[in-house]
Amino acid sequence: MPCAACHGPDGNATLPGMPSLAGQPVFFTHWQLIKFRDGRRKDPGMSPFAANLSDADMADLAAYYATLPPRGRPQAVDATKAAAGQRLAAANYCTSCHRPDLSGQQQVPRLAGQDLEYLLRLLRAYKAQTAADLDGTMTMAVQPLSEADIENLAHYIAGLAPTP
Ligand code: HEC
Ligand code: HEC
């Protein structure tokens, strides 16, 4: 599988803007692959690699990435923004779906230590209602947020060390 070229040999991506897959809940990865294959979620880099996956391939890939240990990556996190983001994550119930350590569950992704650029891109897309949201809950969750809130949250999340 050519997935490693972009997402890292151990599922921890190092390219800026590229999401890590290590330690993602099985359901989450499986659903995202289905969305890419169906064309509901589109990305010029990613979509071709999901186009020909069978259901069994997707189940195997999702199970594989869930077993890999997630690692944080060196990122330029702003401490003041991160502190504000921590308060916002509690006040906006991010932690009730994504769990208090932001390790994710079921169809809800792990966020802790994810790439800063990627987090900003996705949060802005949910806010603009252009992200291919699985069930609409994420789009709803970000509507009250300002651009400054989104930046604060992304800095908090990116700097949070992933727990196993
Ligand atoms: C050419 C680079 C490239 C390759 C190869 C690639 N991907 Fe991706 N993948 C991406 C990009 C870029 C994104 C983010 C797309 C976006 O911003 O919506 C992504 C997103 C994903 C996501 C969603 C992650 C998240 O946190 O939402 C999953 C799951 C995924 N890829 C799995 C795979 C698998 C499995 C393979 C191999 C079969 C693979 N990718 C191959 C570039 C790639
Ligand atoms: C009601 C449950 C719920 C709440 C509350 C919630 N999320 Fe989510 N979040 C989800 C689900 C489900 C997804 C996957 C959606 C999809 O398929 O695109 C997601 C996806 C994301 C993603 C994309 C990650 C990736 O790897 O693709 C980010 C970033 C994110 N949430 C951040 C947040 C933040 C920040 C908050 C608080 C403002 C929040 N979420 C509140 C359920 C929730």
Domain 79-159 has CATH 1.10.760.10: yes
Burial 101-125 (b: 16+ CB within 10 A, else e): ebbbeebbbbbbbbbbbbbbebbbb
pLDDT at 30: 98
By alpha-carbon position, which residue is closest to atom 8 of ligand 1? 46
Instruction: Report how far Cα 101 is from the mean position of its chain's Cα atoms.
Output: 14
pLDDT at 48: 96
Give yes or no for residue 13 CB within 6 A of ligand 2: no
Domain spans, the chain? 20-67, 79-159
pLDDT at 83: 98
By alpha-carbon position, which residue is closest to atom 43 of ligand 1? 46
pLDDT at 164: 82
Give the type of residue at 83. Answer: A
Per the CB < 8 A criterion, the answer to whether 11 and 62 are in contact is: no
Which residue is listed with tokens 């502190």?
Answer: 83
* Closest-lying ligand 1 atom to the alpha carbon of residue 45: 1
Alpha helices in the chain (DSSP H): 3-7, 26-38, 47-50, 55-67, 79-91, 94-98, 116-127, 137-142, 147-159
* Closest-lying ligand 1 atom to the alpha carbon of residue 109: 26
Give yes or no for residue 106 CB within 6 A of ligand 2: no
Domain 20-67 has CATH 1.10.760.10: yes
Report the greatest alpha carbon distance in the chain: 45
In this prediction, the residues of the chain whose per-residue pLDDT falls under 70 are 1
Q: Dihedral (C-alpha) 29, 31, 34, 39: value to the nearest 10 degrees?
A: -100
Ligand 1 centroid to Cα of residue 40, in Å, is 14
Per the CB < 8 A criterion, the answer to whether 53 and 61 are in contact is: yes
Give me 126's structure tokens. Answer: 């949910």
pTM for this predicted structure: 0.97
Ligand 2 centroid to Cα of residue 107, in Å, is 9
Give yes or no for residue 98 CB within 6 A of ligand 2: yes
